[in-house]
Structure 1
Amino acid sequence: MADGQPFPARRPPGLDAPEPRHPVAIVGAGPVGLLAALELARFGCPSVLLDDNDRVCEGSRAICWSKRSLEIMDRVGLGEGMARMGVTWKVGRTFHGDSKVFEFDLLPEDGHKMPAFVNLPQHEVERMLVERAEAEPLVDLRFRNRVAAVRQDASGATLAVETDFGPYELSAGWLLACDGARSPIRRAMGLDFDGELFEERFLIADIAMDHDMPDERHFWFEPTFHPGQSALMHKQPGGIYRIDLQLGWDADPDAERTPEIVIPRIEKVVGHRDFRLEWTSVYTFHCRRLARFRHGRVLFVGDSAHVVSPFGARGGNGGLQDVDALGWRLAAVVAGEAGNEALDHWDAERQHAADENIANSSRATRFMTPREGAERVYRDQVLRLAARAPFARPMVNSGRLSAPCAYPAKGAEAALPEVSAPGRVAPDAPLPDGWLSERLRGWTLLGIGARPPRAEGMARVTAPAEGPLAERYLGAAARAVILVRPDGVVAARWDRAPSAAEAEAERDALLCR
């Protein structure tokens, strides 16, 4: 747990009798793997979740959880708890030297259940997920179960598993590799990433101190406390602050983690020595991914499939969105309600999202750490202009913060308003009895100023053609009926009341049946 206490490792049944075949096996009990198990359970699909460790992660690691991630976590009962525990923020301020050059507001409008971002250490999120998974009968969570080998055929995958009690074999119809950026399963299958390694290093330091920093994100280009480099500061719960400092490619990672070097660097940032060093790490930038995420019966999810530089909070949030798009599809495949081709559609969507995340992360990284020549000239001129020319301020790129991508979808080009076009996450809005996001937990027909049909296997929500919900969905139309997928993505739109057969046909096309 966060205090280092181990979770219990139990003797697996496969040591005493033939292990029953599982519909889904998941490897890796980080946020992505744990959420995947809970999402599958939400649709009635059991899974076995294996992890070679018995503790939550060390250090705060991922801390910035986006509005979309909070909405996803809310479906498994954790979104509100994360928002209560974490530091809520939506404003970011960017400085050049000691002068502010740009600021942004990630959620300037009211009428959403979840805030723009919440800062909460990854170990706290993992702890919450483990507690929920342990209480879920459809999740078989096994700690200190290390996967030593994988083989697959047309019907599933077989894992050789090593435990403190002895080795055993486990077979499953589908395998989710949620085992991180250094994925042993990816290596065992001879797969590798394509992409770019940036020759730059950053120091992460979590410190405990009393400070009056507002609940905001602060980023500095060439601050006086760290000349010629970049710095980032975030506030976490409990008086913990995350500080990122650019070091340069020639920095020695081992030396830079030592207190003798870290403490004087942090003292320059905060201006005093009254702090306690909690955790440090040195990282390099990678923006890379697998060519495809589905390999037969093995699906790579989260960091095992793609990695990005951390500025923009697109790593952990992107992994949760992988699960968001996968859970309902895989559960339907296991239940025989969807064809296996539905998982190819998932693969295509999440490749599209990964490319968007990589593009945004790469642009931010190049702006923050430009190469000599045109990149540096452009960056330096933008920063100089931004101090006095408003048009240049949006060009200042300290990381475009994570937002759900828009999937390519039929009818998206002509749909207005764009925020709720097919392929986009259905925007939240207040309802008389709660929030729209709370009602979008399965296939849903949302009628605004129109009565949706009674279609097989679909919930119906009816709302008046007024207020924030109408503004976000109607545009110039007088009425609309929106088909929303179980992951909250708009699947289709009609500016009239469609027939039940039309709605069912749109759903069946996405399920490949």
Structure 2
Amino acid sequence: MLSTYTYPRFAYRTPPELQNAPAHRYPVVVIGAGPIGLAAAIDLAQQGVPVVVVDDDETVSVGSRGLCYAKRTLEILDRLGCGEPVVQKGVSWHVGRVFFGSSEVYNFELLPEPHYKRPAMVNLQQYYLEQYLVEHAQQLPNLDLRWKSKVTGIESRDDRATLQIETAEGSYALEADWVIACDGARSPVRRMLGLDIEGKVFKDRFLIADVVMNADFPAERWFWFTPPFHSGQSVLLHREADNVWRIDFQLGWDADPEEEKKPENVVPRIRAMLGPDVPFELEWVSVYTFQCRRMPNFRHRRVLFAGDSAHQVSPFGARGANSGIQDADNLAWKLKLVLDGRAPEQLLDSYCHERGAAADENLRHSTRSTDFITPKSAVSRLFRDATLLLARSAPFARSLVNSGRLSVATLLHDSPLNTPDAGASPRPPFPPRMAPGAPLDDAPVTDADGHPGWLIDHTGNRFVGLYYAGDAPLDAAVTQALAALAGPGADPVPVEVLVIGQQAPAGKPPLATLSDVQGVFAQRYDARPGTFYLVRPDQHVCARWRQFDATQVRQALRRALCLEA
């Protein structure tokens, strides 16, 4: 029990398979009702795909667990219908501070540019996020949440998967076209299928303590190397909702996890940090070990792995939940098109390629952070401490300090779904920003009715074309060609075109229009009249051109669907 949160209990309902209903094969079964499984299920259900979610529990996660949600994740949650409550309940922040001993070495700004809908980071206990996702999932008619339903067996074939589900009322078989395994770092599904996860377990442990207190620390990320209140080790401080503060204490490999979790051992550590006069109470305590591991392949026939079941990283840098939600974002649109017969199964292999590359990136960052935070030799510690001392006065040394590279969206520049700029024939060339594979940069826009909003909210769940008209009216031939991309019989899938100009158009425009009244879109996208961006359903750029060419757009679209190389 927590003093600041009351755990909901979700009711078990007898499944139709135990009511002598006719055998039914579901398009998708998701295993695990954590943030990743719920995100994947909601994404698919909102696109019209019937989904069953099975989970062996009946409530949300215990303890704060996942904590920091990055801007890109918040944008995905917006599309899933849960972004606003997360931002409203959570603690927004964008400044981090690094300390060595008792003095500040330097600070950094995560979102130096203005004009984004969402903040750089929001801190919120994982149980709140799960609660919001469950509440939204319960409103979707084609999403079936099955609590107290444990997967005890799974068979993955070339054309379907069969699961054995155990409940208090008995066991039953559940058949699916596809299964998404989001059942955590210890993944029973991975074990049942005899699949490996490879990587490294670091010999260090950290204590997590969620503390309830009224404190005047700002809403920032504070990281100490060898502070006087925890000599020779590291400490991290974050603010959460409800006056809860997350404190991470480095313990060392020899620490006994069970002993360290006892209040009589935790309280003195916190008291040494806060001082004798600050009242506080413990909310939740846990001990974790650094791990940097991943599966060689995230697909096993008809089973697709996402989140911690596919890859695990050390917690510094907030790369766990953020990466997992981006897994779901990457997978859902591809699975939808494969189920609809509009793309081959090869498109799902691109999920493994792209999110495998993201996992490798996260593992590299996490490993380097761990090596810097927990030096493995006297020489490594000497180098680290010298770097921290130098960083106080030398800005170049700050790039060498690694207290956890914070999560940002992976740039999928090597994706086989991209049409590179060379293939898109840009003249003059584009700058690197917003290259194929990059997630969309947001920008303030105004719609045709004069309502202000954000570019990111006008994209997602379908292919979108962004055509920049500048201050010139659209040529009739260009208008017709743009409209044809989404017209009857659009090949291979429709592309909804948004025309972006500097001013609101007069009268009723033939295409959806947005006004770039502040010029932010033109600056971030290096847009000139005629510039065209092709954007995937997960809001990543897959091609761009200086001048719109319908034939080239359709070729790039077919490549993004794995219909041609």
Is TM more than 0.5 here?
A: yes
Which amino acid letter does the alignment assign opposite residue 311 of structure 2? H
1:66 aligned to 51, 66, 70, which one?
70
2:466 aligned with 1:446: yes
Q: Which residue of 2 aligns with 1:468?
A: 520
Using the alignment, how far apart are the partners of 1:382 and 1:449 within structure 2?
Answer: 50
Q: Which residue of 1 aligns with 2:131?
A: 127
Contact 1:412 1:423 in 2 (8 A): no
Distance 1:56 1:149, change over 3 A: same
Using the alignment, how far apart are the partners of 1:404 and 1:5 within structure 2?
Answer: 32
Deviations 1:322-356 (A, max 9, x none): 01110100011111111100000111000000000
Using the alignment, how far apart are the partners of 2:421 and 2:65 within structure 1?
Answer: 36
Distance 1:144 1:21, change over 3 A: same
Q: Which residue of 2 aligns with 1:292?
A: 297
2:266 aligned with 1:252: no
Using the alignment, how far apart are the partners of 1:389 and 1:504 within structure 2?
Answer: 50
Quote how far apart the aligned CAs of 1:215 are: 1.1
Q: Which residue of 2 aligns with 1:512?
A: 562
2:250 aligned with 1:230: no
2:404 aligned with 1:399: yes
Which amino acid letter does the alignment assign opposite residue 501 of structure 2? P
Which amino acid letter does the alignment assign opposite residue 420 of structure 2? G
Using the alignment, how far apart are the partners of 1:378 and 1:144 within structure 2?
Answer: 51
2:356 aligned to 346, 351, 359, which one?
351
2:368 aligned with 1:316: no
Which amino acid letter does the alignment assign opposite residue 61 of structure 1? R
2:20 aligned with 1:11: no
Q: Which residue of 1 aligns with 2:512?
A: none
Which amino acid letter does the alignment assign opposite residue 439 of structure 1? H
Which amino acid letter does the alignment assign opposite residue 506 of structure 1? A
Corresponding residue SS for 2:433? helix
Contact 1:102 1:394 in 2 (8 A): no
Deviations 1:359-400 (A, max 9, x none): 011111100001114422321210121122222122111011
Using the alignment, how far apart are the partners of 1:176 and 1:167 within structure 2?
Answer: 20
Deviations 1:180-203 (A, max 9, x none): 001000011111211111100000
Quote how far apart the aligned CAs of 1:504 are: 2.4
Q: Which residue of 1 aligns with 2:176?
A: 172
Q: For 1:153-302, list aligned pairs within 5 A.
A: 153-272=157-276, 274-302=279-307
2:112 aligned with 1:108: yes
2:399 aligned with 1:362: no
2:79 aligned with 1:75: yes
Contact 1:368 1:397 in 2 (8 A): yes
2:485 aligned with 1:435: no
Contact 2:44 2:332 in 1 (8 A): yes
Quote how far apart the aligned CAs of 1:507 are: 1.6
Quote how far apart the aligned CAs of 1:412 are: 5.7
Which amino acid letter does the alignment assign opposite residue 430 of structure 2? L
Q: Which residue of 1 aligns with 2:533?
A: 482
Which amino acid letter does the alignment assign opposite residue 419 of structure 1? R
* Greater mean deviation of Cα atoms: 189-198 or 295-304: 189-198
1:52 aligned to 36, 39, 56, which one?
56
2:439 aligned with 1:387: no
Corresponding residue SS for 1:395? coil
2:344 aligned to 321, 339, 347, which one?
339
What's the C-alpha RMSD, in Å, of the aligned pairs?
Answer: 1.5
Distance 1:508 1:43, change over 3 A: farther
Quote how far apart the aligned CAs of 1:449 are: 2.8
Contact 1:419 1:427 in 2 (8 A): no
Contact 2:419 2:556 in 1 (8 A): no
Using the alignment, how far apart are the partners of 2:420 and 2:383 within structure 1?
Answer: 38
Which amino acid letter does the alignment assign opposite residue 456 of structure 2? S
TM-score, length of structure 1 as denominator length = 0.97
Using the alignment, how far apart are the partners of 1:494 and 1:252 within structure 2?
Answer: 59
Q: Which residue of 1 aligns with 2:508?
A: none
Query: Unpaired runs of 5+ in structure 2?
Result: 447-451, 503-515
Deviations 1:120-155 (A, max 9, x none): 100000000000111101111100010000012111
Number of aligned residue pairs: give it.
511
Contact 2:293 2:312 in 1 (8 A): yes
Contact 1:428 1:437 in 2 (8 A): yes
Quote how far apart the aligned CAs of 1:426 are: 1.0
Distance 1:69 1:440, change over 3 A: same
Corresponding residue SS for 1:384? helix
Quote how far apart the aligned CAs of 1:478 are: 5.3
Quote how far apart the aligned CAs of 1:42 are: 2.1
Larger radius of gyration: 2
Q: Which residue of 1 aligns with 2:433?
A: 419
Deviations 1:396-432 (A, max 9, x none): 1101100011111442688633231100001000001
Corresponding residue SS for 1:461? strand
